[in-house]
């Protein structure tokens, strides 16, 4: 806790039974739910130092401003945990939507059964909410609710004062880093800046070189810086022209004329093919000579019928 602590009193068995109030989710007032959305958040997975065997112990005996607060009120968003009072009073298990009021002087061990996320707020003895920005640095008086260091369970230190003192006598070594009043994981230290590379020992255009000085130099040597001299420009004579050797002309072979070819008639100049001549009629055979006339056929004689 980020609040300064009051000297603890011996735990009397059964003395804490009235220092915590459990409110089931079904009985939580809607106004309380809306109010809890404005409170800081605590996550068991991000608690510092990390939970041992899923357990962490809290004493609710802090001081906000100059007086002890009346109670810390919690609304569970997710997860489950069992609260085991230090005096042996009955334990209570809380889960999503449940609320629990932890009054001043109460102490218990949280046994986280499932990773838990909760919102918490502080109230005075009359039930009036205390402003969350009332946590101030005990050294400079500046607000340090968002981020602070708790030393010896009673001194709140803002990051600026803590880093300033850490450079000196380390008076607050071992202080606990907190965010919004709860132990948290400290941000990783920034990497140390590498020393800048030394520049060239000898400046350009200078006759000063630290390596030339002896260890017993009394510093009487004078040091003067000279400007680099400019080189004079020298005009260069043009080089003599070198005559080129004569080059014999090379005969260029002439291409032979191509043979003339018959002009290709245009499509419209192509003559139509002449029609094929009709075949001549076959000559009639000449009449055969008389001696070669064929003999007339001889008709057969019919016999005369016999007389009766």
Q: How many CA atoms lie within 13 A of 268 on its CB side?
A: 0
* pLDDT, tens digit, 9 for 90 and up, residues 79-100: 999 999 999 999 999 999 999 9
pLDDT exceeds 90 at position 19 = yes
Task: State the average pLDDT for the chain.
Answer: 74
Name the band, by pLDDT with cuts 50, 70 and 90, for residue 107: very high
* pLDDT, tens digit, 9 for 90 and up, residues 195-252: 555 555 555 555 555 555 555 555 555 555 555 555 555 556 655 665 666 666 666 6
pLDDT at site 265: 56
- Report CA torsion sign: 120, 135, 183, 56: negative
pLDDT at site 2: 42
pLDDT exceeds 90 at position 26 = yes
* pLDDT, tens digit, 9 for 90 and up, residues 273-285: 555 566 666 666 6
Name the band, by pLDDT with cuts 50, 70 and 90, for residue 4: very low
* pLDDT, tens digit, 9 for 90 and up, residues 131-170: 655 677 888 888 787 788 888 777 888 888 888 865 544 6
Closest to 5 measured CA to CA, from 175, 142, 150, 157: 150
**CA distances to 285, 290, 291, 299 from 294, in Å:** 15, 9, 8, 15
3.30.70.2520, 1.20.120.350, 2.60.120.10, 3.40.190.10: which CATH number matches 4-123?
Answer: 2.60.120.10
* pLDDT, tens digit, 9 for 90 and up, residues 37-48: 999 899 999 888
Residue 13 makes CB contacts below 8 A (sequence gap 6+) with 87, 88
pLDDT at site 292: 52
Which pTM was predicted? 0.48
pLDDT at site 111: 97
Residue 46 makes CB contacts below 8 A (sequence gap 6+) with 184, 185
Q: How many CA atoms lie within 13 A of 70 on its CB side?
A: 10
Residue 65 makes CB contacts below 8 A (sequence gap 6+) with 130, 134
Q: What percent of the chain has pLDDT over 70?
A: 53
Residue 30: phi, psi to the nearest 5? -55, -35
Delimiting residues of CATH 2.60.120.10 domain(s) in the chain: 4-123
Average pLDDT rounded to a whole number, residues 159-187:
74
E strands, 50-147, are: 55-60, 62-64, 67-68, 71-85, 92-94, 99-103, 106-123
Measured between alpha carbons, how far is 85 from 92 in angstroms, rounded to an integer? Answer: 9
pLDDT at site 221: 52
CA angle 70, 76, 80 (to 5 degrees): 120
**CA distances to 22, 106, 108 from 11, in Å:** 21, 10, 11
Residue 132 makes CB contacts below 8 A (sequence gap 6+) with 39, 40, 121, 122, 145, 180, 181
Closest to 226 measured CA to CA, from 202, 195, 262: 202
Measured between alpha carbons, how far is 257 from 283 in angstroms, rounded to an integer? Answer: 59
């Amino acid at each position: 806790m980020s609040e300064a602590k009051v000297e603890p009193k011996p735990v009397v068995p059964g003395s804490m039974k009235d220092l915590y109030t459990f409110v089931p989710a079904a009985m939580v007032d809607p106004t309380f739910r809306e109010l809890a959305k404005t409170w800081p958040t605590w996550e068991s997975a991000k608690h510092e130092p990390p939970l041992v065997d899923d357990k962490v112990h809290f004493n609710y005996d802090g001081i906000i401003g100059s007086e002890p607060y009346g109670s810390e009120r919690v609304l569970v968003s997710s997860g489950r945990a069992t609260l085991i009072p230090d005096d042996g009073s009955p334990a209570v298990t809380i889960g999503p939507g449940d609320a629990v009021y932890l009054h001043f002087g109460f102490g218990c061990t949280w046994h986280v059964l499932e990773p838990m996320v909760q919102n918490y707020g502080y109230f005075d003895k009359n039930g009036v909410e205390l402003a969350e920005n009332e946590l101030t640095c005990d050294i400079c008086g500046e607000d340090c609710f968002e981020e602070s260091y708790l030393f010896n369970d009673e001194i709140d230190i803002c990051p600026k004062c803590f880093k300033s003192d850490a450079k000196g006598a380390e008076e607050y070594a071992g202080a606990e880093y907190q965010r919004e009043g709860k132990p948290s994981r400290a941000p990783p230290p920034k990497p140390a800046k590498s020393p800048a590379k030394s520049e060239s020992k000898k400046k350009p255009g200078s006759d000063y070189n630290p390596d030339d000085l002896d260890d017993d130099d009394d510093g009487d040597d004078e040091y003067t810086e000279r400007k680099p001299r400019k080189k004079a420009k020298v005009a260069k004579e043009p080089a003599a022209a070198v005559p080129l050797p004569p080059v014999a002309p090379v005969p260029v072979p002439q291409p032979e004329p191509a043979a003339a070819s018959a002009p290709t008639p245009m499509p419209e100049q192509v003559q139509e093919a002449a029609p094929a001549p009709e075949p001549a009629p076959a000559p009639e055979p000449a009449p055969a000579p008389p001696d070669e006339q064929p003999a007339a056929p001889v008709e057969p004689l019919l016999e005369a019928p016999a007389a009766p």
